[in-house]
Each structure stands twice: as C-alpha cells, then as structure tokens.
Amino acid sequence: MPALGQMSDYEIRLIRVFQTVVECGGFTAAETTLGISRSAISQHMSDLEGRLGFSLCQRGRGGFSLTEEGKEIYQAGLTLISALETFKSDVNALHHTIRGELNIGITDNLVTLPAMNVTHALARLSAPEHDVTLNIHMEPSDAVIRSVMDGHLHVGVVPAVNLPTSLDTQHLYDEPSFLYCSVGHPLFDKASDRLTLAELAYHPAISPRYPLPAEARQAHDALNLRASASDREGAAFLILTGRFIGFLPEHVADQWVSAGKMRALNSTSQHYRIPFVLIARRDRRPNRVVDAFLNFIDTPQTPTPGI
C-alpha cells in the first residue's frame, strides 16, 4: 500500500471534493455544489483513492456510503482543512497586525510644531490592532545621529545639517525662526520692523551651540554675540531675562508672544528656515515596525498642532 508523500495543492483540492461529496450525500448531489460534472467528480475520487491507497466509498445502485477508511479520511480531512484555514487567517492577520518596538530619537523643542507628521505616524503605529512598544528619546541632534548610526535608535528626527552620507533622509517640515526680545528689553517698545542692523548689533545677542545651516549661521554672525545656549530652551531662558536678543523657532516663541512677553524684531528680514528630516541607517535590516512607521510618515493625516 503506497505511503502518502508530500501534500500538493492538487491533493488538497481532491480532499475538498471528497468532503463535498460526503456532505452532499453522493456524486450526483454534489454536482451543483462543486460546479463540475458527475464524471469529473468520479475521476477526482478515483485520483484521491489512488494517491491514498484506500477505497473511500461505495457508489452504485446500492447508493452512496463511506468505507471505514473513508470515514477516517473524512475526519482527517476536516482537521487538515481547518488547520489550513487557521494558517491562512493567521498569515492574513500578520499583514494587518504589527508587532515589535520602535526606538525613535527626537531633537528637543519640536512638539509645538504646527505639522504633526511624526505624531500621526506614531498614533497609527500604536493603534489597538497593533502590538508596538514606542520608546522616545529626546536628545540633542548630534546624539540622535550617533544613536541611529550605532543602531541604538531605529530612526531619528533632526535638522538637515551635516548629516552622514550613510543615512537615508526623509523631509518632514521646515521650521521658521525669527529674532526676538522680551519685556524689559530696550527694543521691546520700539517699532520692531524699522530697526537697522546696526541698532540690532548694538545689543547683546545669543550664540547657539547646536548645529545650524549656513543661512542661520550668517544671521547670527551679524549680531553682537555675548552669550551662548546649548539648545533652543536655553536661548529662550536668556531672551526672557530682558537682557539679550536671540533667534527662536516661531512655534517655540509663540506661547510668550501670545502672552505679550516676547516680540519679533524685523520679522521681514531677520528670519531663516531649518529643514527637519527623518533619518535611518541606509544599511538597516528589514523591520516591519520601522517600515510601517516610514510608510505612515509618507501618508500623513490632516495636521493639527504638534509635531
């Protein structure tokens, strides 16, 4: 008696035909359900019996009935088809369920940006149908770049300044910055759009100690740089003393501008924009969580306040 070898799609199809015949009570009754002729059904049954080495049923004038082997093959077939359906369902679920973790580094003071590309992508990745752990690291841009390069972070959000060529970049948004002073500063009550560059250069200003594009560096170099700040929050602290002028991103300064505590100086000329990008290693390994996040960034939702 031949042993059953590797199951092919054809054998599975024959088992499905057999199940239908059994459930319909015979060849003739199964014709309509299967959509094939009685002779074709008979050929399929003969092929299955030949492959299994068993006679599965009695058919003829006495009617249709299963042999003992046929009964056992029918039950085994139910188990097989059920397992196949479960496997198919599980595989399909994998296409809709993302499991794993995302380690993302973000440069400080971006959460108040009007665009929400990153926030929406994180929201979609953490939806109830997924099982993703999100780990956010708020760090200076150079630290984010190093961590993405050495693999501690999957992706990062940094200014597009002096980036290694081994990183893939994806533009997120441009961040506008303006020159500000605060209440108590001699320039606060003056006509802020009529100040000459010489007047601005007379007053102590803040030098940033973080990466900036050439345009932004030139804007700072024209000022009287007398203090420094390692980040934008530090610059805000110094501006709020009323002793210094300095550049801040518009979205960062907006809370103090709205409260009447800061104002922009020569906003039509004293400004620049910094492009922010998403970075990832070019040689990174395939990762469904990271791939999904990058895809969600590519298809942003309607923006609302945030990053």
The per-residue pLDDT for 304 is: 42
Q: Which of 66, 93, 120 is the last residue of a domain?
A: 93
Select from 41, 71, 93 the last residue of a domain: 93
Domain membership flag for residue 196: yes
Whether 210 and 149 map to the same domain: the answer is yes
**Which pLDDT value is given to residue 110?**
86
- What pLDDT shows up at residue 170? 94
Query: Domain with 241 in it: what CATH number?
Result: 3.40.190.290
Please give the tally of structural domains in the chain. 2
Residues 209 and 185 in one domain: yes
What CATH number does the domain containing 72 carry? 1.10.10.10
pLDDT of residue 43: 92
Return the pLDDT at 10: 86
Domain that holds residue 64: 9-93
Identify the domain boundary among 53, 71, 93. 93
Q: What is the pLDDT of residue 93?
A: 57
Q: Say yes or no: 115 and 182 in one domain.
A: yes
- The model's pLDDT over 168-178, given as tens digits with 9 standing for 90+, comes to 999 999 999 99
pTM reported for the whole predicted model: 0.69
Nearest alpha carbon to residue 84 among 24, 13, 190: 13
In a shared domain, residues 213 and 234? yes
Are 24 and 67 within one domain? yes
Position 255, amino acid: Q
Give the residue ranges of the chain where pLDDT is below 50: 1, 302-306
